[in-house]
Structure 1
Amino acid sequence: MTRTKKYAAAAAVAAVLVGVPTGAYATHATHATENAPAAHPAPQLPRQAPQPHTHQAQQAQQTRPTTPSVRIIQPGERIDARDGWTLWLTREGKHWAGPDGYENFRSVVDGNIDLSRPGVSHQSQGDATGVFHSGVYYGTKKAARVELVAADGTRARAALVELPGKPGWGAWYVSTPPATDPGGLGVALYDRTGKLIAELPAFPV
């Protein structure tokens, strides 16, 4: 009986000794978990505004309206060409008047102009204060620019007017200081791409 109690007591002590390390490890593991650094959420990258599609941006730029180089006017509508000069168009041709009120006319239907091929004409009037230049361009529906060209290369860009419906002709006009170059002035007509399509050589003044 005594020997049995000793074995029981020894077994109880062994159980206690075996259980102590187990509890100690568990406590240590729990402590390590509590002291572990907290996990931080991943940083959020700033959101970028969506960029427009390159092709769409190019199309938007290409479709922007541009300032027309030719002004469309109604038959008989009078244009103030400055310095007392007035210009207007009819179906028959170009009309203009100076400060004195005297009216002039250049026909496009009298047979003197060949409307089947590009060309340009030039008329001028003036005095010691300045010169008014005008003319008719014709034979093309692509006219975009007319320049008055001096013998020394100096250029003056003219204003262009046409009647509605692209009749195949129009008028140009520009004012310059009094002529001082004996080489005279020529006229150059260009299309929308900048290509020279007609010219009138300079003539001595």
Structure 2
Amino acid sequence: MPDLHDDFTAYAHAHLPRLVTTAHLLSGDPRAAAELVRRALVRVCARWRRIPRDDVDFYVRRSLVKEFLRGARRRRSLPDGVLKDTSARQRAVLVLLHREGLREAEVAQLLGWSTGAVGSRARRGLAVCGGDAGRLRGLFAEVAETAEAARVGTGAVPFGVPLDAVEQRGRALRRRRRAVVAVLCALLLVPAGVFAADRIRGGGTADGSAAGAADGARSPIRVVAPGERVDALPGVQVWLTSDGKHWSTPQRPNQFLGLTGDSYASRSKAGAESERPTASVQPDRLNNSYFLSGLYRGLSADPARVEVTVDGSRMTGTVLTLAGSPGWGVWYTRAPLSLAELKSSYGDGGPTVTVYDAAGKVVARGGAQW
């Protein structure tokens, strides 16, 4: 049987020069760049089997930039470089826009920020660098040529990044995460088994049997009327109106997230980019778990599946759409997480949501603000 990591090796070898150059622009230091790429690739390798092969670049870029931002928060100042006078977040946005060639909406999806926040940091960062985007791209190209000529590291370790060690570390991390997930699943299945045994011994009630059948047959997509309240979980309600998402939890009643505003693409931008599909995540604590929910918008049709990922664990969300309002809706699910586990997940980017169409293609994604 072929090794599933063979294509990771091929991808890493093929994209290593560009990754190191991008990391160099972010970090301003060749040695820091090599370490940044190494850490990012370890995380990618650990999740390689779960990453869609037509969407690898997104995950690799996201891992690289998140690693940079995590490190930047631990340092008081950034090393010198082309972007030495910019903040860490301005630097990340400028590199993604003017080196990687992404659009502002794509950068927003990658980082889990609003498009307005990306645009603001891009403008401020570019002003710090002189206000000339063409000149900045030229400087980036010069850094790339210098990095290519220097070949950071030795011939045995291309660009200073030991890919063999990266794969070993990535596989070890994947095994450890799989073991943790197995333990958590076992702990969750024990009370479920006890409940099922109790139902079998007692024979169940007529009402209980009907409810179980309804739960098994329910579609993950439900069409609701404006203001119709849906009992998502005990004590948690979700409802939609034409202007956005409403939800209420025991700790935080009557919350609202609108379809317009800074959480989504800026209305001041004309054209298709302002309507680019996007999604969001809002976590609400419920005792020893979390109610995860969010908005998606800009789709041409209802989604086939919405998945939320927290620290490598994937959960399928229930979808609510408003009758007569295609293209947007609300998703929600419950995650068995503690506060410490949720905070820990932000070390790897935090909760992210991915929206798929009927063909299994990614049509929108986003994350929690951080």
Compute the TM-score of the two structures, normalised by the length of structure 1.
Answer: 0.60
1:190 to 343, 352, 356: 356
Whole-angstrom distance in 1 between the partners of 2:306 and 2:327 = 15
Structure 1 counterpart of 2:290 = 131
Whole-angstrom distance in 2 between the partners of 1:202 and 1:98 = 18
Structure 2 counterpart of 1:103 = 254
Aligned amino acid, residue 131 of structure 1: Y
Whole-angstrom distance in 1 between the partners of 2:253 and 2:221 = 26
Structure 2 counterpart of 1:121 = 280
1:72 to 203, 223, 234: 223
- Count of residue pairs the alignment pairs up: 138
Deviations 1:103-127 (A, max 9, x none): 1000013464236111101111105
2:365 to 196, 199, 203: 199
2:240 corresponds to 1:89:
yes
- Contact 2:281 2:368 (C-alpha < 8 Å) held by counterparts: no
Deviates more, 1:138-147 or 1:88-97: 138-147
- Contact 1:77 1:88 (C-alpha < 8 Å) held by counterparts: yes
Deviates more, 1:187-196 or 1:176-185: 176-185
Richer in strand (by share) = 1
Whole-angstrom distance in 1 between the partners of 2:240 and 2:305 = 18
Aligned amino acid, residue 145 of structure 1: R
- Contact 2:229 2:238 (C-alpha < 8 Å) held by counterparts: yes
Whole-angstrom distance in 1 between the partners of 2:236 and 2:323 = 23
2:318 to 159, 163, 178: 159
Structure 2 counterpart of 1:177 = 336
Whole-angstrom distance in 1 between the partners of 2:328 and 2:367 = 20
Whole-angstrom distance in 1 between the partners of 2:328 and 2:295 = 7
Consecutive aligned runs of 4 or more in structure 1 exceeding 3 Å deviation = 66-69, 109-112, 201-204
Deviates more, 1:168-177 or 1:124-133: 124-133
- Contact 1:127 1:178 (C-alpha < 8 Å) held by counterparts: no
2:299 corresponds to 1:148:
no
Identity, % of aligned positions: 36
- Contact 1:136 1:169 (C-alpha < 8 Å) held by counterparts: yes
Name the CA shift for 1:177/1:112 in 2 (closer, same or farther; >3 Å): closer
Aligned amino acid, residue 141 of structure 1: S
The root-mean-square deviation of aligned C-alpha atoms, in Å, is 2.5
Richer in helix (by share) = 2
Give secondary structure in 1 for the equivalent of 2:275: coil
Whole-angstrom distance in 2 between the partners of 1:112 and 1:149 = 20
Q: Following TM superposition, by how much is the alpha carbon of 1:133 offset from its aligned partner in structure 2, in angstroms?
A: 0.8
Deviations 1:67-116 (A, max 9, x none): 85421100000000113110000001000000246110000134642361
Deviations 1:158-200 (A, max 9, x none): 0001111243210001111124261332111111111111222
- Contact 1:145 1:158 (C-alpha < 8 Å) held by counterparts: yes
Whole-angstrom distance in 1 between the partners of 2:368 and 2:227 = 31
Whole-angstrom distance in 2 between the partners of 1:203 and 1:78 = 26
Gaps of 5+ in 1: 1-65
Whole-angstrom distance in 1 between the partners of 2:232 and 2:220 = 16
Gaps of 5+ in 2: 1-216, 266-273
Whole-angstrom distance in 2 between the partners of 1:107 and 1:203 = 15
